[in-house]
């Protein structure tokens, strides 16, 4: 380590969800699933723990799943045709309402979150007694906090990419795929910030990295903003 290296205390938090589903909103009308939770979903998880909107500041994340599949699910479209409560509501079947569609889902979802110490200390305490139920994605997809501990992030030129979510310029691992994901969603759900990311479905080893940190296990961490 050189004198120029930056050291950043952070909390490393592990989560596990038996089943989770992340619909890709860029494909309206289709039930296309994402293989990785968007940063906005992770922000929602941490906001549920603290009960505060807009959690957290910059954070790093990595995620992967043990498997997945497709099942059939009943959908109930909601009418948005006026302000009259007697008119708005579920669309009747004769009007193309209740229908069955395929839903992609993931099983055995593993999520790691790195939070710089200021936000991390406060949020990890909230995980002991969360304000709202902890979910990863949809309302029925319960997530379990597995572990949390302090680590030290340090700037680096090479690290193990693994399944970390990275900005487009973050690394050159050949197995990476590009995704456009929601970085954050406003509390009224009217405004979404979209960003481009790199993510590796297959575990990626050590590669040169840019604008990244390395934790005490050698894992690359990119601090993502909303």
Under 8 Å CB-to-CB from 40, ≥6 apart: which residues?
181, 182, 183, 184, 185, 192, 193, 226
pLDDT digits (tens, 9 = 90+) for 115-139: 998 889 999 999 999 999 999 988 8
Q: Is the Cα dihedral 154, 195, 165, 73 positive or negative?
A: positive
Q: CB of 159 within 8 A of CB of 209?
A: yes
Q: Quick check: 28 pLDDT over 70?
A: no
Which residues pair with residue 109 across a beta bridge? 17, 65
Per residue in 176-225, pLDDT tens?
Answer: 999 999 999 988 878 999 999 999 999 999 999 999 999 999 999 999 99
What mean pLDDT is predicted for residues 134-145?
Answer: 91
Question: If we measure between CA atoms, which residue out of 124, 150, 130, 133 comes closest to residue 217?
Answer: 150
Residue of 26, 64, 56 lying closest to 40 (CA atoms): 56
User: Are 221 and 173 a contacting pair, CB within 8 Å?
Assistant: no
- The 8-class DSSP code of residue 26 comes to T
Structure tokens at 157: 């030129």
pLDDT tens digit string along 40-88?
999 999 999 999 988 889 999 999 999 998 887 776 666 655 444 444 4
pLDDT greater than 70 at residue 157 = yes
Is the predicted pLDDT of residue 1 greater than 60, yes or no? no
Determine if the pTM surpasses 0.95: no
CA-to-CA dists, residue 169 to 165, 196, 198, 199, 225, angstroms: 11, 10, 8, 12, 15
Which domains occur in the chain, in start order? 7-221 (3.30.70.2660)
């Amino acid at each position: 380590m050189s004198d120029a290296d930056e050291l950043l205390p952070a909390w490393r938090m592990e989560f596990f969800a038996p089943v989770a589903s992340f619909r890709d909103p860029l494909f309206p009308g289709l039930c296309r699933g994402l293989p990785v939770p968007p940063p906005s979903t992770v922000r929602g998880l941490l906001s549920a723990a603290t009960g505060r909107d807009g959690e957290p500041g910059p954070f790093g994340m990595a995620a992967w799943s043990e498997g997945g599949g497709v099942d059939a699910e009943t959908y109930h479209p909601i009418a948005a045709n006026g302000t009259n409560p007697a008119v708005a509501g579920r669309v009747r079947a004769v009007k193309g309402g209740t229908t069955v569609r395929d839903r992609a889902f993931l099983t055995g979802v593993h999520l790691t979150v790195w939070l710089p110490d200021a936000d991390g200390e406060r949020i990890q305490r909230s995980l002991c007694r969360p304000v709202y139920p902890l979910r990863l994605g949809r309302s029925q997809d319960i997530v379990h906090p597995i572990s949390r501990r302090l680590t030290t992030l340090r700037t680096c030129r090479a690290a193990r990419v693994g399944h970390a979510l990275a900005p487009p310029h973050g690394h050159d691992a050949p197995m990476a795929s590009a995704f456009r994901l929601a970085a954050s969603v406003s509390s009224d759900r009217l405004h979404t910030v979209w960003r481009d990311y790199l993510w590796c479905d297959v575990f990626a080893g050590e590669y040169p990295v840019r604008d990244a940190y390395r934790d005490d296990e050698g894992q690359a961490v990119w601090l993502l903003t909303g």
